[in-house]
Amino acid sequence: RVVVGTKVDQNHVNWVTAYNMLTGIRFTVSRTNAKMDRDLTDADFEAKHKFSFDITGNELTPSAKYDFKFKDYAPWVFRHLRSIFQLDPADYLMSLTSKYILSELGSPGKSGSFFYFSRDYKYIIKTIHHAEHKFLRKILREYYNHVQSNPNTLLSQFYGLHRVKIPYGRKIHFVVMNNLFPPHRDIHRTFDLKGSTIGRDFREEELEKNPRATLKDLNWLRRNLHLEFGPTKKKAFIEQMERDVKLLQRLKIMDYSLLVGIHDLERGNEENLRDKTLQVFQPGGDVADDPAQSNVLMRTPSKLENARKAKELRQMIKHQKPIPMDQTTSKMPDEMIEARKNFYFYNDDGGFRATHEDDSPGEEIYYLGIIDCLTHYSFIKRAEHFFKGMVNQESQISAIPPERYGDRFVRFISGITKTREAAEKEKADAENT
């Protein structure tokens, strides 16, 4: 969520791409959801469907604003995943087909991926490398099984896997996943934790220029912070993390991190920086980046209006009618969180609230999850290991084999999971001996 970048207008290549992404999702999701639900078959995990969109439209696809090709992967598996994560189909479409797309411009990571937010801030579209794409398809069944037996997983929730291509453009693979951060609360600090120390320091001086930057392991340790969970929450959190990491180890995945957004309840929403750090771009319209126009960005329709739109959408899905872009609207922020209420770690206003030693509520809400979990311990990583390994202690480098990466990750996160009282007591005990 760091941000601020170049202005994206209608002529920007990403604008067309984003528009096509949404058009493709809208079409394929409503197409799959229009059918009667059924059990998954082996073939569903391998499935891929190709669609050609053009200005005139044809018997298969409705007319679109641009010419592009769209590929939909394992649509039935993702339909079932969305259902396990309790997303309402109309709701999902409503978020992703909204007239406005919120975008975090540029790439927050080094990987070159782009991130787009849905209008209501609930979903993230992340462009991924071809290798990540192939890998997700390969592990899809294992991921699916894991999620089915661990609906409270901390791992990224994948809702769709697609590919888009504009004429003469390159193929762009992307996933749709949950945005861990809430639309209605300021996140006062963000950390991306891996349990490694090498290269895991965000330069504190930069923080002045960019107060919303994502900090890393060393910044966390320097601040002597903890994930303040009392006994009950701590147990649940660590157990789930261990189960999730076991899967990642088995699949030889590494380089993932625990993303932690901290909302300080005492500070509340005083700053409202969100409006300033995000730009909105509207397909068919102009970029709304001046304050007057960004009121549009924060305007939310009434509950009634939303309910009516959702009903209309359900009818359209049922009757397989094409859904126009502006046929949709976005939801109230508080309504948004509703769907996550049934999930243990997203249950306190969309997040997981700190507790004390006696399990009474604490002063922070944590918005957290394990992200970036599609990096296979491949040849490249092994090479990196080889080179870095010669100069650094293995326990400190980030490119160690998946087994050890996972163990170190769990050890680090477990180690920082303690209440204020417990941390103070530990400190006092240490001083007394």
Binding stretches for ligand ATP (CB under 6 A): 1, 107-111, 113, 115, 124, 156, 177-181, 190, 192, 214, 259, 371-372
Among Ca ion, ligand ATP, none, residue 179 binds (CB under 5-8 Å by kind): ligand ATP
| Nearest residue to 406 via CA among 252, 237, 235, 200 | 252
Helix (H, G, I), strand (E, B) or coil at 401: coil
Q: For residues 104 and 5, what is the distance between their CA atoms, to the nearest angstrom? A: 8
Q: How are the residues of the chain apportioned to helix, strand and coil, as percentages rounded to the nearest 5?
A: 40, 20, 40
Amino acid identity for residue 28 in this structure = T
| Nearest residue to 113 via CA among 156, 66, 53, 145 | 156
Residue-wise burial string across 230-243, b where 16 or more C-beta atoms lie within 10 A, e elsewhere: beebbeebbebbeb
Among ligand ATP, Ca ion, none, residue 110 binds (CB under 5-8 Å by kind): ligand ATP
Q: Which is nearer to ligand ATP, 22 or 154 (CB)?
A: 154
Q: Which is nearer to ligand ATP, 214 or 249 (CB)?
A: 214
Q: Which is nearer to ligand ATP, 297 or 374 (CB)?
A: 374
Q: Per DSSP, what are the bridge partners of residue 116?
A: 103, 125
Q: CB of residue 133 vs ligand ATP: minimum separation in angstroms?
A: 13
Among Ca ion, ligand ATP, none, residue 1 binds (CB under 5-8 Å by kind): ligand ATP
Residue 324 structure tokens: 């126009």
Among ligand ATP, Ca ion, none, residue 336 binds (CB under 5-8 Å by kind): none
What does the angle CA 423 – CA 428 – CA 433 come to, to the nearest 5 degrees? 130
Among ligand ATP, Ca ion, none, residue 214 binds (CB under 5-8 Å by kind): ligand ATP
Query: What residue has token string 């984003």?
Result: 18
Q: Which is nearer to ligand ATP, 254 or 371 (CB)?
A: 371
Q: Which single residue brings its beta carbon nearest to ligand ATP?
A: 109
Q: Which single residue brings its beta carbon nearest to Ca ion?
A: 372
Q: CB of residue 375 vs ligand ATP: minimum separation in angstroms?
A: 7
CA distances from 404 to 240, 241, 253, 302, 394 (A): 18, 15, 11, 50, 10
Q: CB of residue 280 vs ligand ATP: minimum separation in angstroms?
A: 18
Q: CB of residue 79 vs Ca ion: minimum separation in angstroms?
A: 26
Provide the H-helix boundaries in 183-262. Answer: 206-209, 217-222, 231-250
| Nearest residue to 159 via CA among 95, 98, 254 | 95
The answer to whether 225 and 416 have CB atoms below 8 angstroms apart is: yes
Q: Which is nearer to ligand ATP, 33 or 95 (CB)?
A: 95
Q: CB of residue 351 vs ligand ATP: minimum separation in angstroms?
A: 12
Q: CB of residue 372 vs Ca ion: minimum separation in angstroms?
A: 4
Among Ca ion, ligand ATP, none, residue 108 binds (CB under 5-8 Å by kind): ligand ATP
Q: CB of residue 369 vs ligand ATP: minimum separation in angstroms?
A: 6
Instruction: Convert residues 357-376 into a mask of x (bound to Ca ion by CB under 5 A) and - (unbound).
Output: ---------------x----
The answer to whether 354 and 421 have CB atoms below 8 angstroms apart is: no
Q: Which is nearer to Ca ion, 104 or 372 (CB)?
A: 372
Q: CB of residue 255 vs Ca ion: minimum separation in angstroms?
A: 6
Q: Which residues contact 166 (CB under 8 A, 6 or more apart)?
A: 16, 17, 20, 66, 67, 68
Among Ca ion, ligand ATP, none, residue 44 binds (CB under 5-8 Å by kind): none
Query: Which positions from 108 through 167 interact with Ca ion, judged by CB under 5 A?
Result: 111
Pairing between β-strand 158-165 and β-strand 172-178 as defined by DSSP bridges: antiparallel
Q: Which is nearer to ligand ATP, 108 or 195 (CB)?
A: 108
Q: CB of residue 182 vs ligand ATP: minimum separation in angstroms?
A: 10
Q: In the β-sheet with 123-128, what is the strand arrangement from edge to edge?
A: 48-53, 68-73, 158-165, 172-178, 123-128, 115-118, 101-104, 279-281
Q: Is 86 in the site for Ca ion (CB under 5 A)?
A: no
Q: Which is nearer to Ca ion, 10 or 111 (CB)?
A: 111
Q: CB of residue 31 vs ligand ATP: minimum separation in angstroms?
A: 26
Which residues contact Ca ion by CB under 5 A?
A: 111, 372
